[in-house]
Chain A
Amino acid sequence: MTEARDSIFASIRRSLAVKGDERIRAGIVEERLDRAPKGIIPTRAQIDQAGKLDLLLKKLEGVQATFARLESASEVPAAVADYLRSNNLPATIRKGDDPRLAGLPWKDTALEVAEGKSDGHDLNAISHAEAAIAETGTLVLTSGHENPTTLNFLPDNHIVVLNAGDLVGDLEAIWPRLRKKFGKGEMPRTVNCITGASRSGDIEQTILLGAHGPRRLHVLIVEAS
């Protein structure tokens, strides 16, 4: 084990003609990790917040995701019930214990609400997004009991709540947010960047939705500040 490790490092260093203890190289690496320089950021994402929302909606449509715009979070349960009804789906929903979802008026609907991870037998689940990226119509979800990762993949229908204030323009804009929340160099166990519902092109290169993950992705955008 250590033998394999040592021998791989020795081989890399032999090929690169370095010893591994050069101060300059170490300094370059430290500096890069510390500063994490940004590269090219597409201009399409460098726009005002209203423009970002428009771009997000356009991109969501482009990946066959649906959405509804809500004025406040309290409208979420009714919007979930509406969505399930209009798609002829049973009035059940599973969620984690995210406080942003817990305090909502679920009792005002006929929804049967379950809590915790999925064991693979739930049709519908709801998660709260950490953020979203307008550039590509991507939702960013982080793991934890608040929003268990299994809810992102096992149920047939995945509903994601996004606070419009958590919408950023480009992918790079996510990382300072996560560093602030979890610490520099730290990450939650899982960060899921989700762009549309599950799909496969493996049968004659025809894109079909609903491969192994959710068949449908629906985004509820809460616009209240």
Chain B
Amino acid sequence: MSAHPTSRQFKDNASRAIADKQLTGNLKAVRQNFIDKRAKAVKELPEFEALRESAKEIKNHTLAHLDLYIEKYEAKVTASGGHVHFARDAEEARKIALDICRKVGAKTVTKGKSMITEEVGLNAYLEANGVTPVETDLGEYIIQLRGEAPSHIIAPAVHLNKNQIESDFRRVHTHLDPARDLTEKTSLLTEARGVLRERFLTADVGITGANFLIAETGTSIIVTNEGNGDLTQILPKVHIVMASIEKMVPTLEDVSQILRLLARSATGQEMSCYTTFSTGPRRPGDVDGPEEYHVIILDNGRSAMLGGEFQDMLRCIRCAACMNHCPVYHQIGGHAYGWIYPGPMGSVLTPSLIGVDEAGHLPNASTFCGRCESVCPMKIPLPKMMRHWREREFERNLNPAMARYGLGLWAFFAKRPKLYALSTRLAMKAMKLMGRGKGSFSMLPGVGAWTKYRDFAVPEGETFQAKWKRERGGK
């Protein structure tokens, strides 16, 4: 089992999130910051659209030959003195990581930001087995202090404001002067830098994820802005990379294409500050770098997605553009989704990885506005795949009885066009009469769950079909 999901309670989670004024206030930063920055970066690169197509082709090609590229990659890592481990599921991945830590007698482990280690619940496991994990990405560090999961895949603490972070630092950093001034954001950053610097220098093992694995050279890549991932992997004796099978890319040229999309789609940067290519442990003559280099390659349900209707999801490069542009994410934030991956990419991926029984509600968390697909650098048809999940949910009778009866009733009329036209015509007229004098209904009998959160505009007395017929005539 992976990290414990609460996706079954999605509706309650979402209602609570919307009622949380502090959260919804903090979430404004998502809309204000990510969208404009991305748009500007995309505008400044005329080749962006062509690159999306190129990147999609690269990933499709890689996935179609994934077994062979993983073999090539594995051979290259081994030849450069590194070790490759394979983990079918979260439990195997955790155990391999712990074994490596134990072999070198590790007490503390620094960690670069990694969604995959969140997915397998690595921190809790290490901690329960006597190894202290220290998150070093500022956002991850903050949520670790709070015992929370990330609420966004590239900005884990986006649900928090400065005052909340200040009170966490005061609560945990008790060795520092209680009278210190932390009103400026820079003083919070400086404090975290100071506290974590010591942890970097004393850690026994460093664990990072990987944005990409390159088959040609046996290289793992991390893309960061803070430099914490680099300090995590160059200072300790052992560097462990944990990455899922679909991170594979054939060549350095191929990854270059995708790197042009990643930072622009994520933060609106042309290139993140640090794009680091790591190949094996330290070489003869090197004066720094890890003595051991391990890669744990995790499947955890992904190989089953190949060749099926959800294969396209394996192109995802975790840029977060989909959630940054999602009206649902904007309202409820990431925690409501109940597992590691929020937003549209999470709504598609989560049911694949933990099952539609657990996560069947997530594909319904969509207005089908299509923005996620339009900004996805890898052209993943997210709305289409959410519809696939809805269909499966329906087929498996997982919808509530009311929804099924309602749809059955609608289908009865929809299959009888004359009856449908008649009944809708009468209904529109009736509603116009009922709604005389007001612009909208704040409640309607039988659809209370819908009108509880929305108003229904009073119809103008004519159906769309009737209007179409009248205005276009027989054309």
Report A's interface with B, CB cutoff 8 A.
1, 4-5, 7-9, 11-18, 20, 25-26, 28-29, 32-33, 36-44, 59, 62-63, 96, 116-120, 135-138, 143-145, 148-150, 152-154, 170-172, 174-175, 178, 185-206, 208, 210-214
Known: A1-B86, A120-B197. A200 touches B226 (CB 8 A): yes
A189 adjacent to B64 (CB under 8 Å):
no
Q: Are the C-beta atoms of B86 and A175 separated by less than 8 Å? A: no
State the Cβ distance, B176 to closest chain A Cβ, in Å.
Answer: 18
Expressed in whole angstroms, the Cα–Cα distance for A52 and B333 within the complex equals 42
Contact residue among B26, B70, B251, B269 (Cβ-Cβ distance under 8 Å from A33): B251
User: What chain A residues lie within 8 Å of B329 (beta carbons)?
Assistant: none
Which positions 242-293 of chain B face chain A at CB distance < 8 Å? 245, 250-254, 256-257, 259-260, 267, 269-283, 285-289
Tell me the bound Cα distance from A190 to B286 in angstroms: 11
* Contact across chains for A203 and B256 when beta carbons are under 8 A apart: no
Contact of B254 with A192 in the complex, beta carbons under 8 Å: no
Given contacts A171-B256, A190-B234, A201-B267, are A117 and B287 in contact (CB under 8 A)? yes
B147 within 8 A of A: no
The answer to whether A120 and B201 touch across the interface, beta carbons within 8 angstroms, is yes
Please judge, given known A-B contacts A185-B76, A198-B225, whether A4 and B285 are in contact too, CB under 8 Å. no
CA distance A59 to B137 in the complex (A): 26
* Structural contact, B68 and A40, CB atoms closer than 8 A: no
- Asked if B260 and A171 sit within 8 Å, CB to CB, the answer is yes
Closest to B54 in A: A39
Stretch at the interface among B42-50, B371-379, B400-408: B42-50
Chain B 431-475, CB-CB to A under 8 Å as 1, else 0, gives: 000000000000000000000000000000000000000000000
A23 to chain B, nearest CB (A): 11
B253 with A212: CB separation less than 8 A: no
Say if the beta carbon of B66 comes within 8 Å of chain A. Answer: yes
Which segment, of B156-164, B362-370, B410-418, faces chain A? B156-164
A186–B68 Cα gap in the complex (Å)? 19
CA distance A154 to B287 in the complex (A): 14
B276 and A193 form a contact (CB under 8 A)? yes
Q: Would you call B138 and A211 a contact (CB within 8 A)? A: yes
Q: Are A15 and B303 in contact (CB under 8 A)?
A: yes
A152 near B217 (CB under 8 angstroms)? no
8 pairs of A and B residues whose beta carbons are closest in the complex: A213-B227, A211-B226, A202-B139, A15-B306, A11-B303, A191-B277, A5-B86, A193-B275
CB-based contact B226/A8 at 8 Å = no
Say whether B193 contacts A210, CB under 8 Å.
yes
Partner of A12, one of B67, B193, B234: B67
B276 touches A25 (CB 8 A): no
6 residue pairs of the A-B complex, CB under 8 angstroms, read A16-B66, A119-B201, A196-B273, A201-B267, A211-B225, A212-B226
Q: Return chain A residues, CB-CB under 8 Å to B275.
A: 138, 192-193, 195
Complex CA gap A58/B72 in Å reads 40
Q: Which chain A residues border B45 with CB–CB below 8 Å?
A: 42, 44
Q: Give A25 to B66 CA distance when docked, in angstroms.
A: 10
Beta-carbon contact of A205 and B228 below 8 Å: no
- SS class, residues of chain A in contact with chain B: loop
Q: Which residues of B contact A196 (CB under 8 A)?
A: 273
Across-interface contacts of A153 in B (CB, < 8 A): 227, 230-231, 234
Q: In which size bucket is the chain B interface?
A: 35 or more
**Interface residues in B384-415 (C-beta closer than 8 Å to A):** none
Tell me whether B210 is interfacial, beta carbon within 8 Å.
Answer: no
A40 to B49, CA, bound (A): 10
Q: Please measure, in the bound complex, the distance between the C-alpha atom of A135 and the C-alpha atom of B235, giving whole angstroms.
A: 31
Asked if B299 is at the interface of the complex by the 8 Å CB criterion, the answer is: yes
- A202 and B156 in contact, given A33-B216, A154-B231 (Cβ under 8 angstroms): yes
Q: Report the minimal beta-carbon distance from A101 to chain B, rounded to whole angstroms.
A: 15
Structural contact, A43 and B252, CB atoms closer than 8 A: no
Contact status A205-B29, CB under 8 Å = yes
Q: Which residue of A lies closest to B255 (CB)?
A: A171
Among B33, B278, B297, find the residue whose CB has the most chain A CB atoms closer than 10 A.
Answer: B278
Quick check: A189 and B231 within 8 Å, CB to CB? no
Which single residue of chain B is at the shortest CB-CB distance from A65? B273
Interface residue? B305 (CB, 8 A): yes
B33 & A190 in contact (Cβ 8 Å cutoff): no
In Å, the complex CA distance between A36 and B216 comes to 9
Assess the A116–B287 pair: CB atoms within 8 A.
yes
Interface string of B65-90 (1 = CB under 8 A from A): 11111111000100010000111100
- Establish whether residues A201 and B306, one from each chain, have CB atoms under 8 Å apart when the complex forms: no
Looking at B182-190, B343-351, B352-360, the stretch in contact with chain A turns out to be B182-190
**B299 nearest CB neighbor, chain A only:** A8
How far is B137's CA from A14's CA once the two chains are assembled, in angstroms? 38
Contact B193 A185 (CB under 8 A): no
**Complex contacts, B88 vs chain A, CB 8 Å:** 4, 7-8
- Inter-subunit contact A43/B46 (CB<8 Å): yes
Which residues of A sit under 8 angstroms from B178, Cβ to Cβ? Answer: none
Contact B253–A38 (Cβ < 8 Å): yes
Q: Out of A17, A120, A144, name the residue touching B285 (CB < 8 Å).
A: A144
Within 8 Å by CB of B303, from A8, A116, A149, A202, lies A8
Q: Is the CB of A190 within 8 A of B289?
A: yes
Q: How far is the CA of A32 from the CA of B137 in the complex (A)?
A: 36
Cβ B276 vs Cβ A190 within 8 A: yes
- Are A213 and B86 in contact, CB atoms less than 8 angstroms apart? no
Chain B positions within 8 Å of A33 at CB level? 72, 215-216, 250-251
* Contact B306 A195, beta carbon cutoff 8 Å: no
